[in-house]
Chains A and B, each alone.
Chain A
Amino acid sequence: MAEKKIAIYRFMSAGCNGCDVQIFECLVPRYKLGDLGVEIVFTPEEANVLAVTGSINVKGAEELKMAYKKLKPPKIVVAVGNCATTKGIFSEGYPIVGPPDRIVPVNLYIPGCPPRPQAIVSAIAKALGVSLDKKEDYWGTPEGFRGKHEFDAEKCIGCGACAQVCSSDAIEIIDEDDKRLVKINYARCTFCGFCQDECPTQAIRLTKEYHLSTDNKKTAYVMNEVEMLRCRICGSYYVPSEQIRWAVERIMEKAAVYRDLRKELEDAMQICPECRRKIVNVENAKKLLTSLAIKTRVS
């Protein structure tokens, strides 16, 4: 057994308690926290590491500063969980003044909502430069585990349905002229899996990857890039090309009557909404668009 050199003090403000309980669970012998020379202490004065959870509210902020002040050198602060990394799901909460790194310097982030005890222990080991023997079953994850996301770049059509249903505003849709970025900030995520459920092309998958610790939280994302389409009339980029292709395919599938009109349909859809509104005089196009609108609403 290594000499105890790391003494962790837990601090929580404005979290759900999930992360704090996960840290507490690290004390279960099977995680061998003790072998790493780590112990959990109950006053900040005895500690040299502060494990912060929660997004920190007005009241907690003062206490956090005080705890940090009392910490023994080298005063390492670890932000455990997504609240403590980015404020997570509580980002818009009115009493929230965090995340912790706005109040005290943070050295390491362990994303998750909450991170498993396994993720916490292995993050500590990694920070110490110790390699863990991960033979036991519990280091693996069961089928259906909801960890870090993965994009299937082939499948993603860039429609943004995932961002719409996201329970934590973790998905950004960033349009940059000829490309659209779909960016999942997994350090803001709740790992609810709504994005995976809602994606019309099954392009997002929550994987078994759960070792997500980092000292640079800006890198905590996965991203996909799709190509944008130019409007045939005004030339501006307005929709991902794949989304149009996908929509046409679906219409073909659902409404066989339009098979013959495929070409016209594709042409019509390559006009941005702005211009579409202007083409009131193009009788045929108008008719087509109206009937399509009805058709798609029905299907």
Chain B
Amino acid sequence: MPRIVRIGPYKPQLLEPERFELLVEDNKIIDVNIELGYVHRGIEDLFTKRTYMQNLALAERICGICSGVHTLCYAQTAEGIMNVEIPDRARYLRCIYMELERLHSHYLWFGVLAHTLHEHEVFLKVMTERERIQDLLEYLTGNRINYLINTIGGVRRDITPKKAKRILEVLKDMKNLSNYLLMLLDSDEAFVEKTREVGVLPRGIALDVGAVGPTLRGSGVKSDIRRDDPYAAYEELDFEVVTEDEGDALARTRVRARETLESIRIIEQALENLPEGEISVKPREPLEKEEIGRAEAPRGELIYYIRSNGTNIPERVKVRTPSFANNFALTEMLRGDIVQNARLIIESIDPCFACTDRITIIDVNTGRKRGLELM
């Protein structure tokens, strides 16, 4: 007889609330039902009640972990609506800020993983080192998260040579941290054994269900918006789109760990080649048009759609977050695996439910029920 195992919404503690219903037979997960809604705030509705500028603060609060890339993607899309081109210096500064964000996001995720695997020492080490990035972001932007650094027309704060020096100092230590993490993933039994062949997402299925970001790259697909549809200054910077072929939790973990080294490289290059000049231009009147913008968030492709009627309040803003796309992959990973691995698998996509939780998905095996329910 199959039984139902529930994870969440509030117990055992995931980093965020959502409810997973697993249909389990002989310890094997045969079906999954993901229920969201605990973080739903009606943001897309709120977007149409304030000005383009005020919406920056709202976009940022879709997700407090990858807040910066939300403002970036929103600003890029709004710049399209206003026909604004940002200064070169701003393009480079955006890359620097956004890669710092990717670093803190990936490290945080590693901390959570270590916590799940009961690797207390690793957890403390990662979180302690990561504080240096948080301190740095606060020093550069005025806030640890929700830093509101991107604005329509550029960025709000410059990086002086003194600040650049401080960034480079911190990055040196972060390189050590990343190498330490990679070493763990190469040789530490606890990490390797517990994550290898867990939650396997084969390449073909990853593509079919539309996975994005490190989840997709962990299944061997070279896909990255920074390379495929370059924005900011990414086209002028050299970096590798990291992939691993195995498609298991270990592969996804390795992708993120290796990506942190790429982020460091990007920041170093951007600092070295930082063009002189202004950091922002004044936004213009919105034109009557629609626009789509994309960016590579720490969790994958982020999409903004804005429709403008020419007033200073957008008529419609639609956001497709990476975790939403990856939830479908998650269902595939869970199905067929053993129930003891469930939490680890869920965490291996680095889900961000604050991002996703603007829709309720009910995805149940054929024969039971299936649907996409908007709330």
Interface residues of A (CB under 8 A from B): 10-22, 24-25, 27-30, 42-44, 54-55, 57, 59-60, 63, 67, 89-90, 92-96, 113-114, 116, 138, 141-146, 165-168, 190-194, 206
How many angstroms between the C-alpha atoms of A113 and B65 in the bound complex?
13
How many angstroms between the C-alpha atoms of A19 and B141 in the bound complex?
18
CB neighbours (8 Å) of B145 from chain A are: 18, 21-22, 114
B87 adjacent to chain A (CB < 8 Å): no
**Which residue on chain A has the smallest CB distance to residue B12?**
A42
Give 17 A-B contacts (CB < 8 Å), ordered by A residue. A16-B62, A17-B39, A17-B353, A18-B65, A21-B108, A28-B128, A57-B37, A59-B40, A93-B42, A93-B45, A95-B40, A114-B64, A138-B131, A145-B138, A165-B53, A192-B148, A194-B57
Task: Kindly provide the distance from the CB of B55 to the nearest chain A CB, expressed in whole angstroms.
Answer: 8
CB neighbours (8 Å) of B40 from chain A are: 14, 57, 59, 95
CB neighbours (8 Å) of A96 from chain B are: 41-42
The answer to whether A142 and B131 touch across the interface, beta carbons within 8 angstroms, is no
**Which residue on chain B has the smallest CB distance to residue A14?**
B41
Task: Kindly provide the distance from the CB of B331 to the nearest chain A CB, expressed in whole angstroms.
Answer: 21
Closest 5 CB pairs of A and B: A18-B64, A167-B57, A17-B354, A93-B42, A42-B13
Helix, strand, loop or mixed for chain A's interface? Answer: loop
B135 adjacent to chain A (CB < 8 Å): yes
Give 6 new A-B contacts, CB below 8 A, not counting A15-B354, A94-B42, A142-B135. Answer: A15-B64, A16-B60, A16-B61, A28-B128, A94-B45, A165-B51
Q: Give the total number of A-B pairs whose CB atoms are below 8 A apart.
A: 163
Interface centre among B127, B144, B375 (most CB of A within 10 A): B144
Task: Kindly provide the distance from the CB of A133 to the nearest chain B CB, expressed in whole angstroms.
Answer: 18
B84 adjacent to chain A (CB < 8 Å): no
B75 adjacent to chain A (CB < 8 Å): no
The answer to whether A42 and B62 touch across the interface, beta carbons within 8 angstroms, is no
Task: Kindly provide the distance from the CB of B47 to the nearest chain A CB, expressed in whole angstroms.
Answer: 11
Q: A28-B124, A43-B12 are in contact. Are A93 and B41 (CB under 8 A)?
A: yes
B316 adjacent to chain A (CB < 8 Å): no
The answer to whether A167 and B50 touch across the interface, beta carbons within 8 angstroms, is yes
B6 adjacent to chain A (CB < 8 Å): no
Q: How many residues of B contact A (CB 8 A)?
A: 53
Q: A16-B63, A95-B41 are in contact. Are A145 and B142 (CB under 8 A)?
A: yes
How many angstroms between the C-alpha atoms of A213 and B332 in the bound complex?
45
CB neighbours (8 Å) of B3 from chain A are: none
Task: Kindly provide the distance from the CB of A257 to the nearest chain B CB, expressed in whole angstroms.
Answer: 28
CB neighbours (8 Å) of A42 from chain B are: 11-13
Task: Kindly provide the distance from the CB of B50 to the nearest chain A CB, expressed in whole angstroms.
Answer: 7
The answer to whether B13 and A30 touch across the interface, beta carbons within 8 angstroms, is no
CB neighbours (8 Å) of B58 from chain A are: 89, 167
CB < 8 Å neighbour of A18 from B41, B67, B135: B67
The answer to whether B61 and A18 touch across the interface, beta carbons within 8 angstroms, is yes
Task: Kindly provide the distance from the CB of A166 to the nearest chain B CB, expressed in whole angstroms.
Answer: 8
The answer to whether A21 and B131 touch across the interface, beta carbons within 8 angstroms, is no
The answer to whether A57 and B38 touch across the interface, beta carbons within 8 angstroms, is yes
CB < 8 Å neighbour of A190 from B16, B146, B375: B146
How many angstroms between the C-alpha atoms of A42 and B60 in the bound complex?
28
List B residues 53-98 near A (Cβ within 8 Å): 53-54, 56-58, 60-65, 67
The answer to whether A95 and B124 touch across the interface, beta carbons within 8 angstroms, is no
The answer to whether A116 and B144 touch across the interface, beta carbons within 8 angstroms, is yes
The answer to whether B38 and A13 touch across the interface, beta carbons within 8 angstroms, is yes
The answer to whether A193 and B148 touch across the interface, beta carbons within 8 angstroms, is yes
CB neighbours (8 Å) of A143 from chain B are: 139
CB neighbours (8 Å) of A12 from chain B are: 16-17, 38-39
B241 adjacent to chain A (CB < 8 Å): no
B284 adjacent to chain A (CB < 8 Å): no
Task: Kindly provide the distance from the CB of A246 to the nearest chain B CB, expressed in whole angstroms.
Answer: 23
Q: A42-B12, A146-B142 are in contact. Are A29 and B124 (CB under 8 A)?
A: yes
How many angstroms between the C-alpha atoms of A166 and B354 in the bound complex?
23
Q: A13-B38, A42-B12, A42-B13 are in contact. Are A89 and B142 (CB under 8 A)?
A: no
Q: A24-B15, A168-B57, A193-B148 are in contact. Are A90 and B41 (CB under 8 A)?
A: yes
B194 adjacent to chain A (CB < 8 Å): no
The answer to whether B148 and A14 touch across the interface, beta carbons within 8 angstroms, is no
CB neighbours (8 Å) of B139 from chain A are: 142-144
Task: Kindly provide the distance from the CB of B278 to the nearest chain A CB, expressed in whole angstroms.
Answer: 16
How many angstroms between the C-alpha atoms of A16 and B128 in the bound complex?
23
CB neighbours (8 Å) of A190 from chain B are: 57, 61, 146, 148
The answer to whether B135 and A93 touch across the interface, beta carbons within 8 angstroms, is no
How many angstroms between the C-alpha atoms of A140 and B311 in the bound complex?
43
How many angstroms between the C-alpha atoms of A166 and B43 in the bound complex?
17
Interface centre among B37, B63, B145 (most CB of A within 10 A): B145
**Which residue on chain B has the smallest CB distance to residue A118?**
B144
Q: Mark B258-287, 1 if CB is under 8 A from A, else 0.
A: 000000000000000000000000000000
CB < 8 Å neighbour of A114 from B17, B135, B146, B352: B146
B157 adjacent to chain A (CB < 8 Å): yes
Q: Mark B12-28, 1 if CB is under 8 A from A, else 0.
A: 11011100000000000
CB neighbours (8 Å) of B60 from chain A are: 16
**Which residue on chain B has the smallest CB distance to residue A19?**
B64
CB neighbours (8 Å) of A16 from chain B are: 60-64, 67, 146, 354
